[in-house]
Chains A and B, each alone.
Chain A
Amino acid sequence: MARTSSDGTPLPSRFRYPRSLRSPLAVVGCVIVVIWLLIAVFAPLLSPADPILNTPNRLAPPSGDHLLGTDTLGRDVLSRVLYGSRVSIPLSLLLVVMSVTLGSVLGAIAGYFGKIVDEVIMRITDLVFTFPTIILAMVIAAVLGPSLQNAVVAMLIVTWPAYARVMRSLVISLRTREYVLADRLLGFSAWRILGVDITPNVLGSIVVLATLDVGTSILLLSGLSYLGLGAVPPTAEWGSMIAVGTQNMDQWWIAVFPGLAILSIVLAVNFIGDSLRDALDPQTAGSMRAA
């Protein structure tokens, strides 16, 4: 839909996304993410060894046999790093999907129906926001008991409010637009209005938030595992591997490689999310989890 200035010359349309996504950072990000996705899928084929197999060859430095060395139980670090992607990536994606869904639905309901429903939902989000994220996740995970499922539940509780807030404010601002009012006059149900009029317009902001959240989730999950509240042995998970590495500082390879794995994928996701944000949504350039 081209717009024109007052003397008839066409103005550039607002949707500039192809150019921003061609930025070098975004391209690098996509490449790295694709590589990790392939690793996650093909880890069994790519790993030289069984990630949970203990061998007597403990704490061995990187060599021909074990490219990244072995850990305290003689397990091959390279294989564990590769398999770690099968824990972090799917769980983070799952978490983001659940969190976005739960948060958006609750936020949309709060924004659209208002009054008591709005108050209740907003007070709940306020309660979550009174704590820094990791602390609250840690407390919940500690109470529930260490396991990957519980860690995901804890993270879900902590992350949905941000989406609820965003969705709510977007819905409120759109609620009074003409086409929504028109549909209400025409008698369409609330659900239809939410689905057809409102959702397409908020998609951009939500997508940006969600992409950046994938990175945050990977960090949060590995952080919880580092504390002993997420993955349990013998699962190969990056955060818990770094925890082991902390106890064995001389064997630097145990902690360094999992950390590099986390860094590379989160950085890649952030590159993509950042470029998406430039392209799609100038508004949310501000704070994401603040009031």
Chain B
Amino acid sequence: MRKFAARHPLALFLVRRIVIAVLLLVGVTVVTFTLTNLVPTDPVQLALGDDAADDPAIVAQYRAEHGLDQPVLARYFIYMAHLIQGDMGISLQTSQPIAQELGQALPATIELAGVSIILSVILGVGLGTLAAYRRGRFSDQVLRVVSLLGISVPIFWLALVAYYFLFYQWRLLPGSGRLDPTIIPPPRVTGMYLIDSLVAGDSVAFLNALMHLLLPALVLTLYSMGLMVRFARTSVLEVLGQDYVRAARAKGLTGWRIVTGYVLRGAAVPIITVVGLVFGGLLSGTVLVESVFAWNGLGQYAFNAASNLNVPAVMGVGLVVGVVYITINLIIDVVYGVIDPRVRV
């Protein structure tokens, strides 16, 4: 076993990270469970709503099903059992299973967040590197102010402003939904229209979905870029001061080769940490932004649920987002291990 560990440090690293991720997932369920049960509001009322909670028969049934008379630990296991079977409770607004509704909504948000994060990383790292190379000069100062602007603006307000000008007034980009009402969505493979339409070879749907994606993605990208530019700049600056960059120049390597092979690789680790954080912020941002653009994803679902105090649905969202976030961080950890050999020890 030890021999295996010594010869395949990367595999061992992966296994360790996955174990930690699973533990964190359990932690997430603990948090949601705690919130529902150790809070002033009666859990039955939270789960079923005020009207249903007045009916003793329904209350009794719920109590039996969820073992509310039993000790906390037993209740937790019952809760977990429900979760593993995919039962997250019933939405107070629609009386439909929450898990099902979330399943419908999730791909839309993944698509939006995915495109936005890719754009933010490319633009953020690019501008941050530029700022680092031009340190102290005017363009650096300008970028600094711009990135501070990015993290100071309330994203829901930015969404409104963008919506107002680019759609409402100037009709430059479509403002609502993921597709024009006249276009038929492609057959569902992943639930993400961009991918599904490519798979189906439906270029009309693809272009239309892309156009609809642009505005919300623009808002989310602008929002998360601020943080990325700052971090990229700091990391790159730190790397530029390192000896190995100077040594690379002393070897006769030049600009582009140094930037990609040496500088970015050195700066990659802290930058990747930030990508994880930024993605978390993006997911949060979707809650505040999707409803403006009638984007039926997790965010809009959460917004509606929150405004209507549909607590079980909000819990469901929290759970799903937690899982997604842990998964993303796991992927990032793995990328760390691949890029920086020192971490595998």
Footprint of B on A, CB under 8 Å? 25, 123, 126-127, 130-136, 138-146, 215, 219, 222-223, 226-229, 239, 242, 245-246, 249, 252, 255-256, 258-259, 262-263, 266-267, 270-271, 274, 285-287, 289-290
Contact in complex: A222, B154 (CB < 8 Å): yes
- A residues near B318, Cβ cutoff 8 Å: 131, 135-136, 138-139
Contact in complex: B306, A228 (CB < 8 Å): yes
- B residues near A285, Cβ cutoff 8 Å: 234
CA distance A25 to B146 in the complex (A): 12
Contact in complex: A286, B160 (CB < 8 Å): no
- A residues near B303, Cβ cutoff 8 Å: 227
Nearest opposing residue in chain B for A133, CB measure: B284
Among B148, B156, B160, point to the contact of A223 (Cβ < 8 A).
Answer: B156
Contact in complex: B273, A126 (CB < 8 Å): no
Jot down 11 A-B pairs with beta carbons below 8 A, ordered by A.
A131-B318, A223-B154, A226-B156, A227-B306, A239-B156, A242-B154, A242-B157, A255-B157, A286-B234, A286-B270, A290-B276
Q: Beyond the given A132-B280, A263-B157, A270-B151, please list 8 additional residue pairs across the A-B interface where CB-CB is below 8 A.
A: A130-B325, A135-B284, A135-B302, A145-B309, A242-B160, A246-B156, A259-B153, A289-B277
For the complex, would chain A's binding face be called helix, strand, loop or mixed by DSSP majority?
Answer: helix
Contact in complex: A245, B160 (CB < 8 Å): yes
CA distance A259 to B35 in the complex (A): 32
Contact in complex: A132, B284 (CB < 8 Å): yes
- B residues near A142, Cβ cutoff 8 Å: 305-306, 309, 311, 314
Among B274, B281, B287, the most chain A Cβ lie within 10 Å of the Cβ of B287
Footprint of A on B, CB under 8 Å? 24, 27-28, 30-32, 35-36, 39-41, 46, 144-145, 148-149, 151-157, 160-161, 163-164, 168, 231, 234, 270, 273-274, 276-277, 280-281, 283-285, 287-288, 291-292, 302-303, 305-307, 309, 311, 314-315, 317-318, 321-322, 325-326
CA distance A287 to B303 in the complex (A): 28
- Once A239-B154, A290-B273 are accepted as A-B contacts, the answer to whether A132 and B160 lie under 8 Å apart by CB is no
- Once A134-B284, A271-B148 are accepted as A-B contacts, the answer to whether A219 and B314 lie under 8 Å apart by CB is no
Contact in complex: A127, B161 (CB < 8 Å): no
Contact in complex: B152, A270 (CB < 8 Å): yes
Among A140, A144, A255, point to the contact of B160 (Cβ < 8 A).
Answer: A255
Contact in complex: A135, B287 (CB < 8 Å): yes
- B residues near A127, Cβ cutoff 8 Å: 27-28, 30-31
- A residues near B40, Cβ cutoff 8 Å: 144
Shortest Cβ distance from residue A201 to the other chain B in the assembled complex, whole angstroms: 22
- B residues near A263, Cβ cutoff 8 Å: 149, 152-154, 157
